[in-house]
Structure 1
Amino acid sequence: MKLGIYCPDWLLAWHNTDHKVMKMFSRMSEFSTMETSFVAARSYTMTFNINKIANRFFPVKTSIERHGLRKQGGNVDIIYHYGSPVNPNKFYNTVNNLPVFVTTGFMTDHFVNSLFGRTVNRQNEADALAKTLDQADRIHFHTLGGLRRFIQYRPEFKEKAINIPFFLPDLQINNSSAIEVYQAPAGVEILFVGSDGERKGLVELINALDILGKAYLQSYGVKVTIVSKKKPAPSCGFDLSWFKYLPHNQILKLMQRAPIFVLVPKMESYGLVLVEAMCNRCSIIADNDETRQEILDDTGLLITPGSSTLLAEKLRILIENRALREDLGNRAQMRASALFTPEIVAKQYSASFQSVIKNEI
């Protein structure tokens, strides 16, 4: 099966998360019999980047993107498009009636209302999204919650909607980390990873550490490591380790030795870092938004975001209860192994692509 990925094959904003996801997706061939290739014309990549820059400084109502396929684009079995097409008619006309699989999303009410600072009419949002998806052969959501929210407003899409998690080709189940951590003679390490600390809940974590107090944290041998742009400073005088940035492999090493991972964001679309923490058998404290509930189920401690008092209570529970840390970490890793490993996810995508090609929707 030949899969053609229709998206820019490079971005000036190289750190863009969506583009990183697409680069990972192109590695599907490492875990399946699929052949993957980027099939959008180079003119599309160039004008896509120009359009992004233009809209950043001089917002325009129309797009200047030039759609087109490379020569090999017409020889694929199915087209994959990440994100709802901005110009759906141009896109669908460009792919020459090839089967189309589109990944989209429909965020939680909490996320959308936090993003815009007001209550959003979700019916209007669903209607606008539907106009970009009605010509697709399959529409895909990374979460079951996102699928259900969209179908609630546009039930006619139910038959061709599917949910499959993110494909993370470098995700590995670390079976040694927990043994090494839990056999440590003393001390508990807490890890926070989030570039935008304010949005990711770093302020509340620092306040929670202040609530617990320096004497308490030292009495339990607590160590705290923060990876975030801004350096935090607990008012209680507790010393912590701070890194503005670390390479991904070093972050994974931190996860391997940290029995507690904290991410209680005010606003978060998904939370891929939580999946990595699960693979490393961390006991996790996260927010109780629907998406985190779907990722973690009952394998983490979920709280309302914005409350340092609640976070301090959960930290105290995990710091003092090694058995609970082990139990949560073990079950989180088992859940990650069953749902998120690249081998399992690749099979799900492959089966869905095949059903589209065979017109089995």
Structure 2
Amino acid sequence: MNGFVDTATAPGLVLDTPLRVGILNAAWNVQRHNTDHRCVLDMASLSAFDASLEVGFVPGPWQSLRCNANFVARRLGAPLPFPRIRLANSQLGSDVLYQYGSDLRGIVLPSRRRAPPLMATTGFPSLRRVLARGADFLEAQARIVDASAGRAALLHFHTDTMRELYLERRPHDRHRALTLPFFLPHLRVLDEAAVRDKFAREETLLLFVGADGKRKGIETLCEALDAHADTLHARRVRAVIVSRDTPGCQRFKALRHERQLPREQVQALMREAHLYCMVPHHESYGLVFVEAMAAGCAVLADDDLPRQEMLDGGRCGALVPSGDAAALGAALMGLLDDREELLALALRARERAARRHHPLGVASAYAQALSRLRGG
């Protein structure tokens, strides 16, 4: 036993020949930690998890360089140096094409050849404060999807919430809109016995991980910890905060702060932690929540729509309004009052992560979706 779940939860796809998938995005990004590009690189590793796929990048080195020049120009507000980066017919030997995100930095498909069918990963606003901007704003967002992925045979969203909000604006696209979770090749699901073992310890570890601490709600968390410092000390609760921003706790002293840690050390902390607590002011999704769930943490998060879907309406943790330290403190104390319920939340979180996000199962789901394109 290695303490992890290593089996897929979805059947593999069996094809006579591998499905050749060409990724239209650039093969590298000048901004090393760009989240979208990390997701592109994750998608490029699909074939390591499902042998029915053969995945590679379509743009060559010079085309990727030009894409990055466009990326820098956009960040600086300057005109694109390469407004049209045309692909050659010879580069489109894939069975299907894949595109992540709405901006391909000027890449243009050849006009003299019928391109392979395309699956495009896109998004749509799903945060309450963004939705509150009104119908005109949402229509403008739908037009962005139209412009960037209008020719896609499949429109891929990461959450049901995003997909349904988009379909409210474009109901005629229901036949080509689907939901698949993020593909997380590095995700490790802790087995149930290991989760129960860590909850058998008397001490409780609370974990917060967010580079941009202020946006992720570090100040609200510190206010809640200070308000209940004496009780938390009596219950042997300690906290680890990993963030570039310094936590401002005054009364709560059982705190360790790390400005930055390697992925492996963060994952080790998650496997040790009992409760992952982050109530962000603005977070479009939050992959770190999924990683914490897979590591057997109960989750205390904000109550915006993406987290409601992620945490199954609160069955895998507690949901509180952003910026409300009193509500956060009350929820925290409520979870700590009932150790058995805290364990039950952690086990449900782990089970949900295993069922929805295990990389073998997710890779199989992507393979089945992409194979639909080759089948017409």
Same fold? TM cut 0.5? yes
Partner of 1:121, secondary structure, is helix
Q: Which residue identity lines up with residue 41 of structure 1 in the other structure? A: G
Structure-1 separation of matches of 2:108 and 2:72: 21
Q: What is the alpha-carbon distance in structure 1 between the residues aligned to residue 151 and residue 306 of structure 2?
A: 27
- 1:89 and 1:169 map into 2 onto residues whose CA distance is 27
Q: Deviation of residue 44 (structure 1)?
A: 2.3
> Of 157, 172, 179, which residue of structure 2 is paired with 1:163?
179
1:318 corresponding residue in structure 2: 335
Where does residue 200 of structure 1 map in the other structure?
Answer: 216
Residues 142-178 of structure 1: per-residue CA shift (max 9 Å, x gap): 1111111111001111111111000011112111541
Cα deviation for residue 92 of structure 1 reads 7.0
Correspondence for 1:182: 199
Give me the whole-angstrom Cα distance separating, in 1, the residues matched to 2:106 and 2:69.
19
- In structure 2, the partner of 1:39 is 58
Aligned Cα RMSD in Å?
2.1
- The letter for the 2-side match of 1:77 is D
2:363 to 331, 346, 349: 346
Residue 328 of structure 1 is matched in structure 2 by 345
* 8 Å contact from structure 1 (residues 40, 69) kept in 2: yes
Deviation digits for residues 271-292 of structure 1, max 9, x if unmatched?
Answer: 1111111111111001111111
Q: CA deviation at 1:88?
A: 8.1
Instruction: Compute the TM-score of the two structures, normalised by the length of structure 1.
Output: 0.92
1:137 to 149, 153, 157: 153
User: What is the CA-CA distance between 1:318 and the residue it aligns to?
Assistant: 1.7
TM-superposed CA distance for 1:91, in Å, is: 4.1
Does residue 1:51 correspond to 2:70, yes or no? yes
What's the CA shift for 1:43? Answer: 2.7
Shift of 1:130: 1.5
What TM-score results when the alignment is normalised by the length of structure 2? 0.88
Please say if 1:273 is aligned against 2:288: yes
**Counterparts in 2 of 1:3 and 1:123: CA distance versus 1, 3 Å:** same
TM-fit CA distance, 1:337: 1.1
Alpha-carbon distance between aligned partners in 2 of 1:263 and 1:256, rounded to the nearest angstrom: 17
Give the CA deviation at 1:220.
0.5
What CA distance in whole angstroms lies between the structure 1 residues aligned with 2:317 and 2:338? 14
Q: Which one scores higher on RCO, CA 8 angstroms, separation ≥ 6?
A: 2
User: Residues of 2 paired with 1:323 and 1:72: CA distance?
Assistant: 60
Q: Note closer, same or farther for the CA distance 1:95–1:84 as it changes in structure 2 (3 Å cut).
A: farther
Conservation of the 8 A alpha-carbon contact between 1:102 and 1:138: yes
Query: What amino acid is the match of 2:234?
Result: S
The CA distance in 2 between the partners of 1:264 and 1:94, in whole Å, is 51
**Greater fraction helix:** 1
Give the counterpart letter for 2:327 in structure 1: L
Mapped contact 1:280–1:333 kept (Cα < 8 A) = yes
* Match among 81, 93, 107 for residue 125 of structure 2: 107
How far did residue 42 of structure 1 move? 2.4
- In structure 2, do the counterparts of structure 1 residues 16 and 70 end up closer, same or farther at CA, with 3 Å as the change threshold? farther
| C-alpha distance in 2 between matches for 1:199 and 1:347 | 35
SS in 2 for 1:246: coil
Assess, with a 3 A threshold, how the Cα gap between structure 1 residues 110 and 143 changes in structure 2: closer, same or farther: same
**2:142 is the alignment partner of 1:123:** no
Shift of 1:41: 2.7
Q: Which amino acid in structure 1 is aligned with residue 172 of structure 2?
A: E
Question: Corresponding residue for 1:307?
Answer: 324
3-state SS of the aligned residue for 1:75? coil
Taking structure 1 as reference, are residues 290 and 270 closer, same or farther at Cα in structure 2, changes over 3 Å only? Answer: same
Report the CA distance shift for 1:29/1:154 in structure 2 as closer, same or farther (over 3 A): same
8 Å CA contact 2:300, 2:318 repeated in 1: yes
Deviation of 1:107 (Å): 1.8
Gaps of 5+ in 2: 1-18
Cα pair 1:283 1:326 within 8 Å, conserved: yes
Query: Using the alignment, how far apart are the partners of 2:328 and 2:113 within structure 1?
Result: 50
Deviation at 1:233, TM superposition (A): 2.7
**2:241 maps to 1:212:** no
Quote the offset at 1:20 in angstroms. Answer: 0.7
Identical positions, percent: 31
The amino acid across from 2:37 in the alignment is H
* Alignment counterpart, residue 262 of structure 2, candidates 241, 247, 253: 247
Q: Residue type matched to 1:139 in 2?
A: L
**Superposed displacement of residue 73, structure 1:** 3.0
> Which secondary structure state, in structure 2, belongs to the residue aligned with residue 168 of structure 1?
coil
State the distance in 2 between where 1:295 and 1:93 align.
41
Q: Please give the alpha-carbon distance, in whole angstroms, between the structure 2 residues aligned to 1:330 and 1:219.
A: 25
Q: Distance in 1 between matches of 2:39 and 2:113?
A: 22
Give deviations 1:56-94, integer Å, cap 9, x for gaps. 22433x562442447863221111000124578934749
